[in-house]
Structure 1
Amino acid sequence: MLSCRCHINTHAANMILELLVRIFLLIAFLITEELDPFQRVIQPEEMWLYKNPHSVHSTVTTRMLFSSAILVPLCVITIFSLMRKDRLDFLHAVLACSLAELLDGVLTNSIKLIIARPRPDFFYRCFPNGVMTTDLKCTGDLDTINEGRKSFPSGHSSFSFCAFGFTAFYLAGKLHTFESRGRGVGWRILVTLAPLYVALMVALSRTADYRHHYEDVIAGSLLGLAVAYAIYRQYFPALTHATCDKSYARLYALRDAMSLQEYNTNNAISTRIPLDSVKTV
């Protein structure tokens, strides 16, 4: 009974700590969203790189990105948890996904603020009338100008590859796509790669909208995918492992249950053996 209570208390403490970590990252993300980037000097001869058309239209808006990046992984996790009736897997998958997305957001914003690379449409953000001043001092809206200095890495690319990349890893684990049981089955690899295809389209749309350079998109995509995989492996086994469809929390619970069952079995056997029958050597 005492051991059970200690386990419950430890689990509750861990959950509180997990929640506090995410609250801290969320606050850090919101703060870095509002900070002004470094005012990097732009030379006149490089201004041609930033003379692409400026438009308020985006193929994938920020609201669309955040909505899909939150809802799609959550729906996939919920479906598999309901099919398997595994609440523990649901909890730890949500913890992993939320940690990955928040950490990715903080890292992406921090790099943006320090690198402060101008966007491809920075010229018309800086000079809305299309006339460049001799001292290169911008005449446009200050918020629009500051936002124009946050090109590297691409936030849309980073966040989409983090969210949909995590979804792809989660599907690969649940479907045993890269494990022996999933080899030679075409639909498994297609289902696994589908989220990455969506992330790729989101990333490429940022170049079509003249919001990012290709280097920004590549760097953001790699960053998001790396964060997603690192956090996924913190909560789930390798995708080539036989138990890749179970979270570490579930595996530990199964191990503890087996240990308890073995202990109870051995204890029951020992109580049935008369002490007189035990011979000392």
Structure 2
Amino acid sequence: MRLLRGSLIKTELLIRLFLIIFFFYTDKYPGFVRKIQREEFWLYNFPRTHSYYPSEYLWLTLFFAPLVSVWIVYHFTKDKVDAVQSILGSCLSIFLAGSITNVVKIGVGRPRPDFLARCFPDGDIDDSMVCKGNEKDVIDGYKSFPSGHSALCFSCLGFIAFYLAGKLHIFNPTGRGHAWRLMCFIFLLLWATMIAVSRTADYHHHWQDVTVGSILGLSISYLVYRMYYPSLQKQNCHLPYVSISPTDTQISYSDHRTDAPRTPLSPTHTTDIEQLMKVV
């Protein structure tokens, strides 16, 4: 089994630890207080409602979706290297997207659609805009752009979609002609899309916030995925780079089934999961 050298794996883990701490710190940090003109009141005068996809559900999704997906793939491939790389990749994608989103939120300070309901819970809007509502709710009310839910769900589910697309060879000749494989890919992106859209339905975000957050999350998920895996059009797209780069001096490797280093796959090479797909 391939193992990362101690110094390298420590660096990888420290980067993720930093991003996690940075994300939760900036998540509570007060942002820019943008002035609201009276003629803009209609943009921010929507009622406060409960989230259709609460933060608790979102974090359960971010935690379990990658773990379950990796476990299913590992069940067929028994490739520990791939499992480690995919977990590292999904974690980096989620918290990198979340950290960038929080920084932009703080800098932009766009009020949410329900901001006036947060600022004036009694409904008596004062032109002086001296808020009477809960301070925490008001601070959060200035963090509408971009949508954190959208960025996080696309950074997570988008990464998993690309990961499964590589394993199932959806975008190269090996997997073409199998609609069910494409549906697995589409389902994950549809799941993320519906989470994002729900943020406009419950008046927590404007449509622009959701659009930019979704693009940001999906872009980062693809960027991070390509750091760990080849193009989805390659025949060996199901393998992480470390498994097809014998010249990598940072990593010592021997195959989990043989003692010989793994070399790039030929077009006729098939893996355990590919053989399973043919049977299905």
TM over 0.5: yes
CA distance in 1, matches of 2:115, 2:169: 46
**Percent of aligned positions that are identical:** 40
> Which residues of 2 match residues 188-227 of structure 1 at below 5 A?
188-227=181-220
Q: 2:16 aligns with which of 17, 22, 31?
A: 22
Report the count of equivalent residues: 253
CA distance in 1, matches of 2:21, 2:82: 27
Residues 38, 127 of structure 2: 8 Å contact kept = no
Q: Deviations over 1:163-201 (max 9, x none)?
A: 100010001000000011111211111011111110011
Counterpart amino acid of residue 48 in structure 1: W
Could you say which structure has the higher helix fraction? 1
CA distance in 1, matches of 2:234, 2:216: 25
Q: 2:167 aligns with which of 162, 169, 174?
A: 174
Counterpart amino acid of residue 10 in structure 2: I
Residues 147, 209 of structure 2: 8 Å contact kept = yes
CA distance in 1, matches of 2:158, 2:236: 20
Q: 1:38 aligns with which of 9, 15, 32?
A: 32
Residue matched to 2:103: 110
Q: Deviations over 1:143-173 (max 9, x none)?
A: 1111111100111111011110001000100
Q: Deviations over 1:224-243 (max 9, x none)?
A: 00010000000000000110
CA distance in 1, matches of 2:8, 2:240: 16
- Look up the SS of the partner of 2:244 in the other structure: helix
Which stretch of structure 1 is more off in the superposition, 210-219 or 41-50? 41-50
Deviation at 1:140, TM superposition (A): 1.2
Runs in 1 of length 4+ with deviation above 2 angstroms?
Answer: 252-258
Residue matched to 1:63: 56
Q: Gaps (5+ residues) in structure 2?
A: 262-280
CA distance in 2, matches of 1:254, 1:197: 39
> Which residues of 2 match residues 45-84 of structure 1 at below 5 A?
45-55=39-49, 57-84=50-77
Counterpart amino acid of residue 180 in structure 1: P
Q: 1:159 aligns with which of 152, 155, 159?
A: 152
Residue matched to 1:232: 225
- Look up the SS of the partner of 1:206 in the other structure: helix
The root-mean-square deviation of aligned C-alpha atoms, in Å, is 1.9
Residue matched to 2:273: none
CA distance in 1, matches of 2:121, 2:56: 26
| 1:126 maps onto 2:116 in alignment | no
Counterpart amino acid of residue 225 in structure 1: L
- Look up the SS of the partner of 2:200 in the other structure: helix
- Look up the SS of the partner of 1:189 in the other structure: helix
CA distance in 1, matches of 2:173, 2:108: 44
Residue matched to 2:239: 246
CA distance in 2, matches of 1:257, 1:36: 50
- Give the TM-score, by structure 1 length: 0.86
CA distance in 1, matches of 2:156, 2:13: 19
Deviation at 1:78, TM superposition (A): 1.4
Deviation at 1:132, TM superposition (A): 1.3
| 1:101 maps onto 2:98 in alignment | no
Residues 172, 232 of structure 2: 8 Å contact kept = yes
CA distance in 1, matches of 2:56, 2:45: 27
CA distance in 1, matches of 2:6, 2:242: 14
CA distance in 1, matches of 2:213, 2:185: 21
CA distance in 1, matches of 2:68, 2:247: 26
CA distance in 1, matches of 2:107, 2:254: 50
Change in 2 beyond 3 A, CA 1:261/1:224: closer
Larger RCO (CA under 8 A, 6+ residues apart): 2
- Give the TM-score, by structure 2 length: 0.86
